[in-house]
Structure formats: structure tokens, C-alpha cells
């Protein structure tokens, strides 16, 4: 199974803001401007601009709650740019700040735990990854509609797949899809990632008729929610190409894979090295 990292930012700010000390209006507004502009650029795939804005936000993040969110955002942008060592440092700093200011069981920790686990997973640093996913899952387990529950389930499914435990991997992915749909996130890009992973699993298991509609559903979401050159689109297209090749549609597979490669080349040119 390939390893699509979740690219659409999910920032949990409300709980953190509630515990934040007062800040001057100008100081706070400048941070907010840099921070949310950076996140908009990140979502659109403009990672270099997002990095510059996150670094500017860091200069204004004089309060602990803003420092934690800024470190987490820097981790996400640096991950997209392939600067994994730097990203890990920012994720761990964000996690430490959140634990010290909010406690070990605050729901705001779940997104950071999942981000760190995703980062370690894509580098094959598997020691401790399952513990991070399960800690995030335990924190959010009471809120079954939380997107972080689905992220943890997706990550655990990838680990089970790598251990050749395909039955449990399938069950975890199906559970994540069901939770997305019950939470009215049927058309969320996070759901498209889970659909793609389940499609890859079925392709590897030669369950081709089951894989095809999952890729089609993921494409439907991507067409409506993401830009056509988004990295997740390329990952889904490569997965679809593998299915086409496996089912004897070699010409279509080559066309699909070539189109996906062009997206990746564009991302490399923009500085997205992952």
C-alpha cells in the first residue's frame, strides 16, 4: 500500500484559544493575518509562500497557545517541502507546548499526535508510531465524529497493512469511512485519502471490482475540493493507474501514470519534495 500523507490542514484552535491569556489587538491581529494566510497558501499547495508566512507568524507568537499552533503549522509546511527533520522538531515542540499548557488529555493534542505519527510513518521510522496514533485515538475516542479519530484509524490501518494484517487494515479503513459519512464529511478530502488507501489495499489483494468504485469516489471528491495539481490527486491517479495495469488496461494505465507524474514534476518545481 502506498502512503499518502494527509495534506489538507486540520487546525484545532478553539480549545486552545479558550485557555489563552490576553494579547494586544495589534499583536494578535498580525499573527492571525500571517497564520491564516499561510494556511490558505498551504491548502492551495503554495508551500514556499506558506513557509515564509509561518516563519513571520512565529515572530509574533509571543503567547504559548499561538506558539504551539505556529510550530504545528511549520511542521505541516516543512513536511510538504520534504524537510522532515525540521518538521519533526516543530511537531515535538508543538506537542510539548500543548501538553504543558492544556494537559495530556486535551482534544487539541490529537491533531499534533497524528501529524507527528504521519511524518514518522512516511520516513519508515515506525518505532513509536502506533503509540502516537493510539494516544490520539484515545483522546478523541469519545467524540466518534472527530476527524482526528478517522486520521488515527487511517494511520493504524497503514501499519496493519505493513504487517500483512490485511483483514484488520480493511476493518480500520472501513470504520474511518463510516465515521466520515456519519459526521457528514462524505466529500471531505480526508475521506478521499481513506478511500484511496482502501482502493490500494483491494488492488493489492486482487479485489479489482471493489477497488474501482473507491477510486472513482475519491476522484469525485478531489474534482470538487482540490486543485487539479494537488499532491493527493497525483497519489490517487498513480493508484488508479496500478489498478488499470493490473486489469489489463495498459494503455490507459500509462496515460494515467504520465498525467500523475506531470503533477509531481510541477510540485517538485514548486519546492514540494515529498
In a domain, 179, yes or no: no
Residue 37 maps to a domain: yes
Model pLDDT, residue 270: 66
The continuous run of DSSP H or E covering 245 comes out as: helix 231-246
Is 16's pLDDT higher than 50?
no
In a domain? residue 182: no
Q: Can you give 167-183 as a three-state secondary structure string?
A: HHHHHHHHHHHHHHHHC
Last residue of a domain, one of 73, 103, 133: 103
Higher pLDDT, 69 or 191: 191
Spatial distance between the Cα atoms of 265 and 189, rounded to a whole number of angstroms:
22
Output the pLDDT for position 2.
39
Q: Which of 31-40, 51-60, 205-214, 264-273 has the highest mean pLDDT?
A: 205-214
Residue 134 belongs to some domain of the structure:
no
Task: Name the residue range of residue 72's domain.
Answer: 24-103
User: Is 225 within a domain?
Assistant: yes
The count of structural domains within the chain is 2
Q: Is residue 7 part of a domain?
A: no
Select from 71, 103, 135 the last residue of a domain: 103
Interior/surface letters 114-125, b for 16+ CB within 10 angstroms, e for the rest: bbbbbbbbbeee
Domain boundary among 77, 103, 129: 103
Is residue 163 domain-resident? no
Could you read off the pLDDT of 138-163 as tens digits, one per residue? 987 667 778 999 999 999 999 999 99
Model confidence pLDDT, tens digit, residues 219-268 = 999 999 998 988 899 999 999 999 999 999 999 999 999 999 999 888 77
Burial (CB < 10 A; 0-12, 13-18, 19+), residue 172, is buried
From the list 183, 177, 105, the residue with the least C-alpha distance to 146 is: 183
Q: Is residue 2 included in any domain, yes or no?
A: no
Give me the CATH number covering residue 74: 1.25.40.10
Q: How high is the pLDDT of residue 274? A: 54
Q: Are 169 and 194 in contact (CB under 8 A)?
A: no
Three-class secondary structure of residue 105 per DSSP: coil
Report whether pLDDT(93) > 60.
yes
Q: How far apart are CA 71 and CA 99, in angstroms?
A: 14
Q: pLDDT class for 5, splitting at 50, 70, 90? A: very low
Amino acid at each position: 500500500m502506498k502512503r499518502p500523507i494527509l495534506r489538507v490542514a486540520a487546525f484545532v484552535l478553539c480549545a486552545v484559544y479558550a485557555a489563552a491569556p490576553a494579547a494586544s489587538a495589534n499583536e494578535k491581529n498580525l499573527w492571525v493575518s500571517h497564520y491564516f494566510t499561510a494556511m490558505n497558501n498551504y491548502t492551495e499547495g503554495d508551500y514556499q509562500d506558506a513557509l515564509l508566512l509561518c516563519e513571520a507568524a512565529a515572530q509574533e507568537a509571543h503567547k504559548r497557545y499561538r506558539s504551539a499552533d505556529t510550530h504545528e503549522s511549520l511542521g505541516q509546511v516543512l513536511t510538504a517541502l520534504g524537510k522532515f527533520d525540521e518538521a519533526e522538531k516543530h511537531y515535538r515542540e508543538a506537542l510539548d507546548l500543548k501538553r504543558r499548557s492544556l494537559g495530556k488529555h486535551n482534544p487539541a493534542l490529537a491533531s499534533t499526535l497524528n501529524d507527528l505519527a504521519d511524518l514518522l510513518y512516511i520516513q519508515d521510522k515506525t518505532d513509536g508510531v502506533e503509540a502516537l496514533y493510539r494516544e490520539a485515538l484515545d483522546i478523541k475516542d469519545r467524540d466518534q465524529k472527530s476527524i482526528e479519530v478517522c486520521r488515527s484509524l487511517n494511520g493504524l490501518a497503514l501499519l496493519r497493512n505493513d504487517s500483512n494484517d490485511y483483514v484488520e487494515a480493511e476493518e480500520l479503513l472501513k470504520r474511518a469511512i463510516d465515521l466520515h459519512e456519519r459526521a457528514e464529511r462524505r466529500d471531505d478530502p480526508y475521506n478521499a485519502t481513506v478511500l484511496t488507501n482502501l482502493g490500494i489495499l483491494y488492488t493489492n489483494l486482487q479485489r479489482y471490482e471493489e477497488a474501482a468504485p473507491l477510486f472513482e469516489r475519491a476522484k469525485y471528491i478531489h474534482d470538487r475540493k482540490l486543485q487539479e495539481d494537488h499532491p493527493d490527486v497525483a497519489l490517487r491517479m498513480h493508484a488508479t493507474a496500478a489498478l488499470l495495469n493490473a486489469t489489463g488496461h495498459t494503455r490507459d494505465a500509462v496515460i494515467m501514470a504520465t498525467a500523475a507524474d506531470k503533477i509531481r514534476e510541477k510540485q517538485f518545481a514548486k519546492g514540494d519534495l515529498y
